[in-house]
Amino acid sequence: MNAEPMNLTGTPIPAKKGEILLSVENVSLRFGGVKAISGVSFDIRKGEVRAIIGPNGAGKTSMLNCINGFYHPQEGQITYKGVRRARMKPHQAAAAGIARTFQNVALFKGMSTLDNIMTGRTLKMRRGFFWQALRQGPAMAEEIEHRKVVEDIIDFLQIEHIRKLPVGKLPYGLQKRVELGRALAMEPELLLLDEPMAGMNLEEKEDMCRFILDVNNQFGTTIALIEHDMGVVMDLSDRVVVLEYGRKIADGTPDEVKQDQKVIDAYLGVAH
Amino acid sequence: MFYREAGQYKSTYAADMAVFPLRQDRIGIAVILAIAFIGIPMIGNDFFIATVMIPFLVFSLAAIGLNILTGYTGLISLGTAAFMGVGAYACYKLTTFFPGVNIIVLILISGLFSAAIGVLFGLPSLRIKGFYLAVATLAAQFFLQWAFVRVPWLFNYNASGAIEVPLRSLFGIPITGASASAETRYFVCLGLVVVLTWFASNLVHGRLGRSWMAVRDMDIAAELMGIKLLNAKLLAFAVSSFYAGVAGAMMIFLWYGGGEAADVFNIRLSFNILFMVIIGGLGSLIGSFFGAAFIASLPTILKFGLPALGVPLSGAAAEHVTFMLVGALIIIFLIVEPHGLARLWQITKQKLRTWPFPY
């Protein structure tokens, strides 16, 4: 059960919790006059499952967008792997090992499951234009090498039967799974999951939970997770940060957060 | 019954990733190539080859080019004819400067000039999308067409403004110019189209094709996979314009054999190629051939074929009937299958796979 953590190409990953992988300090983000995030600080430690929760419009997704470079916060700083980042672009974040799934599935709809997950390997592929035009020798060898990794992911997520189908036609639960596969194909160090269980039935949710835990255990991937299902959040995560109206109102282990009066007020409302 | 994958097991990833994984498809493509290389030159007369087959090949190549840009990368362009023009004029200048170099090499090199111009006009594509990009590429169409008329250096200060295609030969056989036979020109076109289609097929099945389609389907997620949007889009513009440029050079040197090229590369040609791509099937190479056959060859075949079949029409009347028939067919095909003839072909193959049992 407790096999040594390995990444997809077989090199072991040291599974140490405690070292800070990413830290967000005093980040504020404004859109015109609207303050989406104001002065939020928290950190994500290597190997943990970190949940970000909060009511609708609390700034959770905006936070993820800051982390992977879609938005550039006006104030504060984000340090990833010890490097403070200025205005990082999304493709730079990808190269640095940050992968992401979206709240509304953002798959490449016209492509097959296989091609979608293969796209996740783009950064790992080296062969240039001329070999690509020939699709022989080294280019084909590279394709096959990455196809093997992709097949491992397909195996892992149990989606063998939909390999060749265009993803646009798949049911929602499977689309979410393919999207997870695409993110995993990048072999990320930090995986951002934006509501991976939204709109799923109980069985699909349980499957997805299992996959998330397996990814965390087997590959040692650090996971930041936004989710509304409190049962899932409390079971999966090591630590939870709670946002409300763009501010952080609580941060700690699931048990601590559950007891926090501010969190209870934010979710249940306060009598006036 | 005959078209079925049953019993064809793939034991390697290479076999599974082949462009034609089915044996029947491989046989089909071999038969088509045999017909193209042996059958048509044997059966077809010079008139058929010169007025139907050579234009078909030229338009197919241009449609493949636009399909890479519009069908695979999702960028609409209305400047295809202009990029074809760049190829034609570049080829003319090159063969003037380097008369000793083989014309086929020069046709391919002129595609590179077209690619460079394409990249230049593709630069706005990072900021603007959809219809607005179509309008921006319209600028390329108008500007370049203006240049073809107003920059006399491009047509060697010829008083008539026309390109005069010189005699150029390969192994002593003339392939361009007045003395080149239709059959030779057809073989040169066919060779170029086959090789370039193979390259295009390789590209769209590999990493670059996947990044193009990723940009088309969901550019935000594509960026997150580490795909640089500007690079991917500009590469699509470059490859697309290369194909257009080669098609343009082929059009003037191997089909028209010269003439007032500026009038040829007009907006109407751009639209025609866009229609070929849409009716043939966006994001499908075989669709480009279907589209070219439908938009370019069908009218010619109808125009000359109807009188031959005994329908008492000639000249202008035949032309008008052709317009009506082709127009009606376009509407019918778009209603039956909005995703183009390539999708219709896919559905047919799927039906064949289960025929005669419908499950």
**Residue A272 pLDDT grade (very low, low, confident, very high; cuts 50, 70, 90):** low
- Is A120 in Cβ contact with B227 (below 8 Å)? no
The answer to whether residue A47 is domain-embedded is yes
- Is A102 in Cβ contact with B208 (below 8 Å)? no
Q: What is the pLDDT of residues B327-350, one digit of tens each?
A: 888 888 888 888 888 888 888 888
- Mean of the pLDDT values across residues B35-58? 89
Q: Are residues A169 and A193 in the same domain?
A: no
Which of A185, A207, A237 lies at the terminal end of a domain, its last residue? A185
Is the confidence at residue A3, as pLDDT, over 60? no
The CATH number that applies at residue A46 is 3.40.50.300
The answer to whether residue A106 is domain-embedded is no
Nearest to A193, CA basis, from A163, A218, A229, A164: A229
Which of A160, A185, A210 lies at the terminal end of a domain, its last residue? A185
The answer to whether residue B307 is domain-embedded is no
Q: Evaluate whether ipTM surpasses 0.90.
A: no
Task: Compute the count of residue pairs across chains A and B with CB atoms less than 8 Å apart.
Answer: 99
Q: Are residues A84 and A147 in the same domain?
A: no
Q: Are residues A4 and A79 in the same domain?
A: yes
Nearest to B72, CA basis, from B291, B288, B250: B288
Number of compact structural domains in chain A: 2
The model's pTM: 0.90
Q: What is the pLDDT of residues A147-179, one digit of tens each?
A: 999 999 999 999 999 999 999 989 998 999 999
Domain of residue B128, residue span: 44-266
Nearest CB to B223 within list A91, A111, A143:
A91
Nearest CB to A140 within list B14, B218, B220:
B14
Q: Are residues A89 and A178 in the same domain?
A: no
Domain of residue A6, residue span: 1-97+187-272
What mean pLDDT, rounded, does chain A reach?
88
Please tell me the number of Cα atoms within 13 Å of A150 on its side-chain side.
25
- B-chain CB neighbours of A167 within 8 Å are none
Interface residues of B toward A, Cβ cutoff 8 Å, are 12-14, 17, 199, 202-203, 205-208, 210-211, 213-214, 216-218, 220-228, 235, 283
Q: What is the pLDDT of residues A34-74, one digit of tens each?
A: 889 999 999 999 999 999 999 888 899 999 999 989 999 99
Q: Are residues A135 and A244 in the same domain?
A: no
Q: Would you say A254 and A232 are in contact if contact means Cβ atoms under 8 Å apart? A: no
- B-chain CB neighbours of A68 within 8 Å are 224
Which of A158, A185, A212 lies at the terminal end of a domain, its last residue? A185
Q: Are residues A192 and A266 in the same domain?
A: yes
Q: How far apart (Å, rounded) are the C-alpha atoms in residues A232 and A243?
A: 17
Res B1: pLDDT = 59
Q: How far apart (Å, rounded) are the C-alpha atoms in residues A254 and A238?
A: 7
Q: Is A148 helix (H, G, I), strand (E, B) or coil?
A: helix
The answer to whether residue A105 is domain-embedded is no
Q: How far apart (Å, rounded) are the C-alpha atoms in residues B246 and B113?
A: 10
